[in-house]
Chain A
Amino acid sequence: MIDMDKLVDIEKSTQSKQVFWDQGVYDRELERIFGRCWLFLAHESQLQKTGDFFTTKMGEDSVIVVRHTDGSLKAFINSCTHRGNSVCTADSGNTRSFVCNYHGWVYSTDGSLVDVPLKERCYHDDIDMSAMSLPSIRVESYRGFVFGCFDETAPSLVDFLGDWGWYLDTWMVGAGEGAELIGPPSKSILKCNWKVPAENFVGDGYHVGWTHASALEMLGGELGGLAGNRANMPFDELGIQVTTRHGHGFGVIDHAGIGIHDKREGYAKFLQETQPGVAEKLGQPRAELYDGHWNCTTFPNCSFLYGTNIFKVWHPRGPHEIEVWSWVIVHKDMDEDTKKEVVKQAIRSFGTAGTLESDDGDNMVNSTRNNQGRHTRKNTMDSRMGVGHEGPHPDYPGIVGSSFIGETSYRGFYRFYQEIMSADSWDAIRAKDEQWADCFPNKDYWKDRLAAKAKAKGGE
């Protein structure tokens, strides 16, 4: 029996190292997390015409997402209901139907079985095709980003994102017609547990200066000062970190949006021109975030950097390995040259051969691999940075940490991890909607800090 209270100690802000290693924990993750959460599938811009399809994964399950003839998006498990072979073996494309290579069963773009070879003569017409559709998956989109969910009892995608959607809107609807993803995704294998990059993107501003010292030094610019942690910076004034109800979270470095990009004239101009519109459409608090650099994870395994504009999914392949899929985020209203510039710059830093991407791999692999040691994994990992320096904020929903360097959103990620791993049902999770933030007890952190700030300003 897995005791989640032992694996995640919320009071002490620690996690057992077993969460990166044990097969039993992983099996339960596939069931309770990947089987119950909304998982990123594709962007609608890849699926515009009838019959456009994209093959992907949800946990370890192979999945097809496709634009059906009635205009809706459908998703189903890519495994024939006859003997289980794949019904689609291409990454993407356009099709009228999916034909299984094994015995030739044919499925329509809504997953229904429409043809069985030799049905009359060999099945003697004794087969109910209507009961043999490919197992279907719930599909919903948020601002053009398509997600799938195996669980009929899960909340809607909008409710699952909750306050996180409020933040996503900053760049998904803030500027003009919104955002889209440029693919096809590059794909690579990283021998780490899926949570290592997920937690890193959700809230690890701390590693940036050290892990990425070489790349930051080479790049210079706004973030160059972080290289090697040498700069004496007032970190509590340079950004915030946020965690929300279902473990989604992010950190933002104020006004550093395109700091990782080298050639960026088009992007800089675009941000400058669109920022006033964000304030008008969404208000000042989000306009303030709009030109920041964001590191984010949508629970459980979809991470992105807004500003650097890489968008990643960590597909688990057992407890010790993942497939990394990388796209690039662009704004639909950018001119073609700017889009190209953004794609080029994003992959240069965080693509498979990226100058910063390459810094991270070893940390993630070793943080996983070391737990092969039986005695190593009897220990815990720590995420206490900034405890108490966080709380509800008058302008920003969720729990807001004092700085982009802190572990508020780590704690929020593992808080929900523990909750969903323990909960028997979504109803049990819903029952705690009002209390989820109780483990962040300093309710007056921002009230006090903002009052002190106002006072200091008044006294000047």
Chain B
Amino acid sequence: MHNTEAKDRVSMQLHYDVSQHYYQEATLLQEREYQTWLETFIAEDIHYWMPVTERRYAKDKRAEPSPNDMAIINDDYDELKQRVDRLGTGTVWMEDPPSSVRFLLSNIEVFHTDKEDEFVVRCNFITTRHRGQLERSQHVGGRVDLLRKTESGYRLVRRKIVLDARVTEDKNLYIFF
């Protein structure tokens, strides 16, 4: 496991670089350039994870969800690649005509870790999806990422996506967050 304990905040320049990287990622996904996203943004040791979070009483001392528990997405690289590949088969009827997905990112915070080339990045998101005539959904949440700086740019090593809603108001979450 990587040490992701966030240390000091990064410099203004680095914060700017990482923010631009994130906007670029959002643009790629909005334009359905999933293959490019996979090839140029994702590290091969990726863990891409969306846990299921119950509504529990404040006094409830049970552990937070871990990657060993029930989840909504819990993918390694191969599995993420399959998600991308499926969209390229030409037989995903639900994406033809395609839906319009848009990502609004904010509150981007970037921290050093005790590895020089790895950073913890937190941000909030609103992701919207419009489909067909009147169908629309909106997903609000936060991401906690581990980002690695490599010779070919930043690569996503770990992403934890936390949705604020207990019940997803959408027919599925086949969306890259």
Residues on the B chain within 8 Å of A188, using CB: 167-173
CB contact between B74 and one of A213, A323, A347 (< 8 Å): that residue: A347
What's the Cα separation between A311 and B93 when bound, in Å?
A: 25
What's the Cα separation between A328 and B86 when bound, in Å?
A: 23
Once the chains bind, are B173 and A352 in contact (CB under 8 Å)? yes
Residues on the A chain within 8 Å of B82, using CB: 218-219, 262, 355
Once the chains bind, are B173 and A353 in contact (CB under 8 Å)? yes
Q: Is A281 an interface residue when CB atoms closer than 8 A count as contact?
A: no
Q: Which chain B residues numbered 83 to 128 have a C-beta less than 8 Å away from chain A?
A: 83, 85-87, 89-94
Q: Is A185 an interface residue when CB atoms closer than 8 A count as contact?
A: yes
User: Which of B50, B69, B71, B87 gathers most chain A CB within 10 Å?
Assistant: B71
Once the chains bind, are B173 and A90 in contact (CB under 8 Å)? no
Q: Is A252 an interface residue when CB atoms closer than 8 A count as contact?
A: no
A-B pairs under 8 A by CB, number: 126
Q: Is B64 an interface residue when CB atoms closer than 8 A count as contact?
A: no
CB contact between B54 and one of A91, A190, A359 (< 8 Å): that residue: A91
B174, chain A: closest CB distance, angstroms: 4
In this complex, how many residues of chain B approach chain A with their Cβ under 8 Å: the count is 38
What's the Cα separation between A215 and B79 when bound, in Å?
A: 12
Q: Which residue on chain A has the smallest CB distance to residue B83? A: A355
Residues on the A chain within 8 Å of B169, using CB: 188-189
What's the Cα separation between A89 and B57 when bound, in Å?
A: 8
Q: Which residue on chain B has the smallest CB distance to residue A217? A: B89
Residues on the A chain within 8 Å of B174, using CB: 353-355, 357-358
In this complex, how many residues of chain A approach chain B with their Cβ under 8 Å: the count is 46
What's the Cα separation between A187 and B52 when bound, in Å?
A: 9
B102, chain A: closest CB distance, angstroms: 18
CB contact between A358 and one of B166, B167, B172 (< 8 Å): that residue: B172
Q: Is A386 an interface residue when CB atoms closer than 8 A count as contact?
A: no
CB contact between B85 and one of A218, A358, A362 (< 8 Å): that residue: A218
CB contact between A93 and one of B60, B87, B171, B175 (< 8 Å): that residue: B60
What's the Cα separation between A76 and B152 when bound, in Å?
A: 59
Q: Is A17 an interface residue when CB atoms closer than 8 A count as contact?
A: no
Q: Is B55 an interface residue when CB atoms closer than 8 A count as contact?
A: yes
B169, chain A: closest CB distance, angstroms: 5
Q: Which chain A residues numbered 231 to 257 have a C-beta less than 8 Å away from chain B?
A: none
Q: Which chain B residues numbered 37 to 96 have a C-beta less than 8 Å away from chain A?
A: 50, 52, 54-57, 60, 68-75, 78-79, 82-83, 85-87, 89-94
Q: Is A184 an interface residue when CB atoms closer than 8 A count as contact?
A: yes
Q: Is A453 an interface residue when CB atoms closer than 8 A count as contact?
A: no
Closest CB pairs A-B (n = 5): A361-B171, A353-B173, A188-B168, A358-B174, A213-B91
